[in-house]
Amino acid sequence: MDVRNHYPFNRSSAWFGFCPIYKESYLFRKNKEQVRELSQSEKSSKELHFPTRFPQNEWEQFKACLWKQHLTYWRSPKYNLVRLTFTTLIFLDTWSTSMAERTEHK
């Protein structure tokens, strides 16, 4: 069923119909004023300054990345089961191939 034919108006014409209504609304004026207020910093504020480029040293960043990856992977047990199964199958295939090659060379 094509739902588009049941709308009494075209989307593009509806957009232009709502633009002037929104621009004259209280919500538009309120948002505009809030953007103007928040885009100016306070006179007592200072520029941000960090003593180093990164907040942690390389080792701490590396540990944080490993921890995030650990959390992400262990949140989906189905994915882990498939990943572990494929890893085991590839290991067994590689191991059996290497064992076959060793016995041929003896």
pLDDT digits (tens, 9 = 90+) for 22-40: 888 999 999 999 999 999 8
Is the pLDDT at 85 greater than 50, yes or no? yes
Domain total in the chain? 2
Q: What is the pLDDT of residue 80?
A: 80
Based on the fold, state whether residues 67 and 99 are members of the same structural domain. yes
Based on the fold, state whether residues 68 and 33 are members of the same structural domain. no
CA nearest to 56, candidates 65, 48, 47, 45: 65
Based on the fold, state whether residues 63 and 30 are members of the same structural domain. no
Residue 48: inside a domain, yes or no? no
Structure-token pair, residue 83? 């990943």
Q: Would you call 24 helix, strand, or coil by DSSP? A: coil
Structure-token pair, residue 95? 């191991």
Decide: pTM greater than 0.75: no
Domain residues for the domain of 20 are: 10-38
Q: Quick one: the chain helix, strand, coil %, rounded to 5?
A: 70, 0, 30
Residue 72: inside a domain, yes or no? yes
